[in-house]
Amino acid sequence: MALNENWFTEICAEGGSAFSLELKDKIHEERTPFQLLEIYETRHFGTLMTLDGLIMLTDRDNFIYHEMITHPALFSHPDPKRVLIIGGGDCGSLREVLKHGGVELAEQVEIDEQVTRAAEKYFPELCESNNDPRARFRFTDGIRWVAAADPASYDVIIIDSTDPIGPAAGLFSEPFYGACRRALTAEGILMAQSESPLFHLNILKRMHAAMRETGFHDITTLHFPQCSYPSGWWSTTMACKHATPQGLRQTAARQRPFSTRYYNAAVHAAAAVLPQSIAEALAKQ
Ligand code: SAM
């Protein structure tokens, strides 16, 4: 079918592929100090946010990503109280983190305040916990924030970033992971979005190596479908500060007192089982 101006298309050069969404309208366009921010109304995926022409989220499928970048870490840490989110300006991860009653602080450090302002206006359901007294918003560079953080000040750090280009490039680096490790408490867990296992296996391999080099243990990649991201197959990767046996808190995950649409204890365990070629690629060299 021929595509025209009624379609948004994201080309993924490294995958030699493209993904398109049929549009109703463009409803917002803004050049922020950091990136081009656009919001569209689509025909079948609800509202769409793009940054520099790349899909950040749609109404229809963001729940998978947001649940899989938060709950696996929070149900693996024995008692997460202080959570730092780097990036995540759409506030979807923040909302999931705040579903955990034991969390006392959820601090979101987003470089681009306009992303959050746009989310408040166009994705109000993702921002429904923004007034929770446990939420804190910092609009600054996450790399600088973590470098200046007190040692052992967070139980969980979630890196909900854009792709490893531009301001997010440093968020995939060894020095940054080292700073995160310092900022984590003894039982601390780092969680990061880790791109597509099909198109970006080299990025995943580099992330594993960098996390290992900086002293992280139990580096676990979870994979899940995400139809609006390149290849439709995405991943998050978590790692523990120390080699303490943690693992999924099965009972807590099974009896969670809040609703989810994708996450459950069985999905958590299954997502960490890697297909053969990915497991081989990520095995310790
Ligand atoms: N995971 C989603 C994806 O891959 O499409 C991205 C969701 S979220 C909107 C990503 C956010 O990370 C963006 O709002 C961007 O401004 C933010 N970001 C990028 N680099 C950053 C940095 N160095 N510090 C803090 N936030 C950053």
Tell me what pLDDT residue 246 has: 73
141 lines ligand 1 (CB under 6 A): yes
Which of the 8 DSSP states describes residue 15?
A: G
87 lines ligand 1 (CB under 6 A): yes
Residues forming a β-bridge with 235: 223
| Predicted confidence band of residue 3 (pLDDT cuts 50, 70, 90) | low
Q: Does 111 have pLDDT greater than 60?
A: yes
Closest atom of ligand 1 to CA, residue 57: 5
Closest atom of ligand 1 to CA, residue 168: 20
Quickly name the fold that domain 7-58 has: Spermidine Synthase; Chain: A, domain 2 (2.30.140)
94 lines ligand 1 (CB under 6 A): no
109 lines ligand 1 (CB under 6 A): yes
Residue in 25, 160, 163, 218 annotated catalytic: 160
- The amino acid occupying position 108 is Q
Residue 250 — φ and ψ, nearest 5°?
A: -50, -55
Q: Does 5 have pLDDT greater than 90?
A: no
**Inter-CA distances, 235 with 3, 229, 230, 231, Å:** 29, 10, 11, 11
Tell me what pLDDT residue 285 has: 54
Q: Is 160 a catalytic residue?
A: yes
Q: How far apart are CA 18 and CA 44, in angstroms?
A: 18
pTM: 0.97
Level-2 CATH architecture, domain 62-283: 3-Layer(aba) Sandwich (3.40)
Structural domain boundaries of the chain? Answer: 7-58, 62-283
